Amino acid sequence: MMKNSSEINIVRIGSDITYSSLKKIGDGILESFRDFIKKVNLSHHNSPVVESIDAQLLTMVLDEEYSGHTLGITDADLKTGDEDEFYNSILGGKNPQNDVAVVSTSRLSPEKLDSEREYDLFIDRTLKVSLHEVGHNFGLTDHASYKPAADGLLCPMSRGEFNQFGYRGYIKVIVDGRGKIFCDDCVTFLRSIYGRRNSSGPLLKDALVPAGL
């Protein structure tokens, strides 16, 4: 179980995303994990502009620099050592050896990125892939099937099959099909391990609030 899991570092590597969009992603993560994450620290990691980064290496660098529950967001392509070409470039990943997850925005952009609507879609996709990877940080596993949450949209942990769609199709069907609410199975798992932080806080504080406020 993660130490200090109620706080997460969100680190921007590269500069595709504006700071206000990064904040939006942080707020979205707080909202979806509201019983489990209480604080988001946003920061920027300076790195040379590169087209691709080894995903594993990036998690190790971030772990050393930030330690603890961390999500890195980069515009570089994330590479894995996988020989299958289909899997050697990933949207996101999590290193099981530490508490660092990484997301690449390089394939999440719609075909054009001219309008506000298209940019919003781009940020929304980045948030959804981030929720999935942060879910892995908490120990959640993929749903191979299309698992709906209470809002009727797919649970963020839905994975589906890459090779059934190709990247663009996958993003449209699976990533865009996901909502921001976790399914009952995922919530039950999170509660069983991390409890409900809302109710486990120092309740006595309430006694200090004057009646009527």
What is the smallest separation between the CB atom of 183 and Zn ion, expressed in angstroms? Answer: 3
What is the smallest separation between the CB atom of 11 and Zn ion, expressed in angstroms? Answer: 20
* Of 12 and 147, CB closest to Zn ion: 147
What is the smallest separation between the CB atom of 143 and Zn ion, expressed in angstroms? Answer: 6
What is the smallest separation between the CB atom of 117 and Zn ion, expressed in angstroms? Answer: 28
Check if the beta carbon of residue 14 is closer than 8 Å to that of residue 74.
yes
* Of 119 and 162, CB closest to Zn ion: 162
Strands, sheet with 77-79, edge to edge from the N-terminal-most edge strand? 52-54, 77-79, 89-90
What is the smallest separation between the CB atom of 94 and Zn ion, expressed in angstroms? Answer: 8
* Of 17 and 140, CB closest to Zn ion: 140
What is the smallest separation between the CB atom of 145 and Zn ion, expressed in angstroms? Answer: 10
* Of 61 and 183, CB closest to Zn ion: 183
Contact positions toward Zn ion, by CB under 5 A? 142, 155, 157, 183, 186
Distance CA 156, CA 133 (A): 9
* Of 42 and 173, CB closest to Zn ion: 173
* Of 62 and 155, CB closest to Zn ion: 155
Distance CA 106, CA 210 (A): 51
Distance CA 213, CA 43 (A): 35
